[in-house]
A and B are shown apart, each in its own frame.
Chain A
Amino acid sequence: MDFKSIIGQLSTAVGGIQGLVNVATAVGGPAVASAVAAVQAATEVYNHVRENVEVVKQAHASNDQAELKKIGDDLFAEAAKLNEYIASHP
């Protein structure tokens, strides 16, 4: 599977899940609250995966060392935030 097909599949999936979120939110009510939370989490994960795939693609296509260093620095800053959450929520 190449990068283009992965990105295409992820984009389709994100669009479909976002539609479900909209429908569930419109219906409303406590019964759908956890379902909405699950769908929102899934949407967030899809978006996150897509962003990371793009970053890795960009890194493997680039020979600009300064650009690569900046990408790495930005990613590590995000990693530090994620770790902060994980460490503080046992």
Chain B
Amino acid sequence: MKLRYFAAVAVAALSLAACGTIPAAGPQPTLGAPASPATVQPGLGGATVLDERLRIDAIAAYNTVAGAYVSADSRGLLPAAVKARVRPVLLNAFVALTAAEDAYRLGNAATFEAQAKEAMSLATQARKLIPK
């Protein structure tokens, strides 16, 4: 039965990969020109639609993997060895997400984009550590 659970995680990975992210080409996300918190309006004021989408992509990537982890762990289905490998990566992913949120609110475009992508990268890493 654990196999069914891990198959579900595999589908999660497939689904997220299919969702895609902001294309590399074309307009890049920006929270408004200068990246200085002192000169940019906080929050939505300086953000673009592309920023909002990158934010959503990053958080959804984390939530999908973290949700699978919590569903399994809360029922005692996660082997200790898997938990020991995945948990620190998820904790780091949330640290990156929080840093991205802070940068988003301050209008710091460079930090926002870097931290959002770092969170997505760590979420992907965590997903790969869960056996299929």
Contacts and interface: CB of A to CB of B under 8 A. Distances in A.
Contacts of B59: 72, 75-76, 79
A13 B9 CA distance: 13
Nearest to B68: A45
Given A79-B59, A82-B63, A83-B66, A68 B91 contact: no
A38 B49 contact: no
A9 B10 CA distance: 13
Place the interface of chain B in its size category.
Answer: 35 or more
A contact residues, range: 35 or more
B114 interface: no
B64 A52 contact: yes
Contacts of A41: 5, 8, 71-72, 75, 77
Contacts of A42: 1, 4-5, 7-8
B49 A49 contact: no
Contacts of A40: 75
A37 interface: yes
Contacts of B66: 79, 82-83, 86
15 contacts: A35-B1, A41-B8, A42-B8, A48-B67, A49-B8, A65-B48, A65-B52, A69-B52, A72-B52, A72-B56, A75-B60, A78-B63, A79-B97, A83-B94, A87-B91
Interface of A: 1-3, 6, 9-10, 13, 17, 34-35, 37-42, 44-46, 48-49, 52-53, 55-57, 59-60, 62-63, 65-66, 68-69, 71-72, 75-76, 78-79, 82-83, 85-87, 89-90
